[in-house]
Structure 1
Amino acid sequence: MTRIIAGFAGSLSLQVPRSGTRPTSDRVREAIFSALEARDAIHGARVLDLYAGSGALGLEAASRGAAEVVLVERAKPASEICRRNADAVGRADGGGHAVRVRVVPRAVAAYLEGAAGPVDLVFVDPPYDLSETALAHDLELLAPLLSDDAVVVVERSSRSPEPVWPAGLAPERRRDYGETTLWWAAPDQPARPSQPE
């Protein structure tokens, strides 16, 4: 069972697809959100949850104060569960936080090709068998959509190589949790030319 950890929907149980997804463990989600709250990256953020599965990462952000969350999940059974979980979080909200949650039943690359930014916080949690080439393509499409101070969290198998980072997106750190590795990345700000005195 997966649940919302904290925020207005804290302890709410979420449905999980029977197959085809690999929910992020509570331990890893707690680590992610502790780090995000420490850098004040959630409140008021525009959030993308790519390969959303049950939507747990994006909905956790909604519960903790994100302004807008988009759950992108191509598989029909999983996208329907995302929608049910989003509805449950909306009911827990009671209209008090005005968070907008949208479920997009499309492939990640197809969504990103037509998406508009800026986006402040992105969870990229693809199936472990997604090829490194496909992940690199997704990150390349994502990079132009990011706000200047955006945070990107990529979850992969600890046996997977480091993602291929596109121009405009740079890794900040790696954290390992058993079989799971988290890669944290942020927009790579070009050095500004010094101003003449």
Structure 2
Amino acid sequence: MRIIAGSLKRRSIKAPSGTDTRPTSDRLRESLFSILGSDRVQGARVLDLFAGTGALGMEALSRGALSAVFVEQHPQALKVLYYNIENLGLEDRSRIIKWNIRKDLRCLRNEAPFDLIFMDPPYGRGLTAITLEHLKKSGLLTSASCIICEHTAEDPLPPEKEGFIREDLRVYGKTLLARLSFLSDKEESH
């Protein structure tokens, strides 16, 4: 695995061995950032949920994001995540939080809202809708926040009436890549 573009272009990223972590492929990452465009990434505060290797957040940092918070709970993935951030020299713009996102997002309660949120939960566990519900209640989103969700058809997105609008959806084999925007309670009531 490698960083695709930006200041860290072609730098290697390690991935944990085994099947517990499913890193986003270079091809899919390239498509994802193409969908986003550079203006969405430049200067952004990034949240990388189910971070795994950290490839999505690190790619954003390489492309000009201001900072990234990585949330992961798997010990082997955390070890690799710390290594990757240090190896790429991103310690001053990164923060890693060990947390079980299935419960809630209390670990982020002191954070300001994020501009760009990546979520790539383990497939087939129903975590897509749960995580979006946690995000909705968290206070971490504004109407300008962009959420990128990597999921499968078995883990569908909640209906749009539940606080999010699907702006774009791409299919890559069994993987779906959705770009969502957030409707605050005020916007939803109109």
**Partner Cα distance (1:119, 1:109) in 2:** 19
Instruction: Quote how far apart the aligned CAs of 1:11 are.
Output: 0.3
Instruction: Quote how far apart the aligned CAs of 1:23 are.
Output: 1.1
The CA deviation string for residues 96-149 of structure 1, in whole angstroms up to 9 with x for no partner, is: xx9611111211245612423311101110111222xx4322111212311221
Contact 1:62 1:99 in 2 (8 A): no
Of the structure 1 ranges 20-29 and 139-148, higher mean CA displacement relative to structure 2 is found in 139-148
Residue number in structure 2 paired with 1:66: 65
Residue number in structure 2 paired with 1:187: 182
SS at match of 2:142: strand
Residue number in structure 2 paired with 1:128: 123
> For 1:107-122, what aligned pairs fall within 5 Å after superposition?
107-110=100-103, 112-115=105-108, 116-122=111-117
**Partner Cα distance (1:52, 1:18) in 2:** 15
Gaps of 5+ in 1: 92-97
Residue number in structure 2 paired with 1:94: none
Residue number in structure 2 paired with 1:152: 147
How large is the RMSD of aligned CA atoms in angstroms? Answer: 2.2
Matched, 1:77 2:76: yes
> For 1:11-160, what aligned pairs fall within 5 Å after superposition?
11-19=10-18, 20-37=20-37, 40-90=39-89, 100-110=93-103, 112-115=105-108, 116-131=111-126, 134-143=127-136, 144-157=139-152, 159-160=153-154
AA partner of residue 45 (structure 2): R
Distance 1:161 1:102, change over 3 A: closer
Distance 1:42 1:18, change over 3 A: same
**What's the TM-score once normalised by structure 2's chain length?**
0.87
Identical residues among aligned pairs (%): 38
Greater Rg by CA? 1
AA partner of residue 141 (structure 1): H
**Partner Cα distance (1:139, 1:34) in 2:** 23
Of the structure 1 ranges 29-38 and 7-16, higher mean CA displacement relative to structure 2 is found in 29-38
Contact 1:45 1:66 in 2 (8 A): yes
The CA deviation string for residues 137-185 of structure 1, in whole angstroms up to 9 with x for no partner, is: 211121231122111011112x425311573322112100112111110
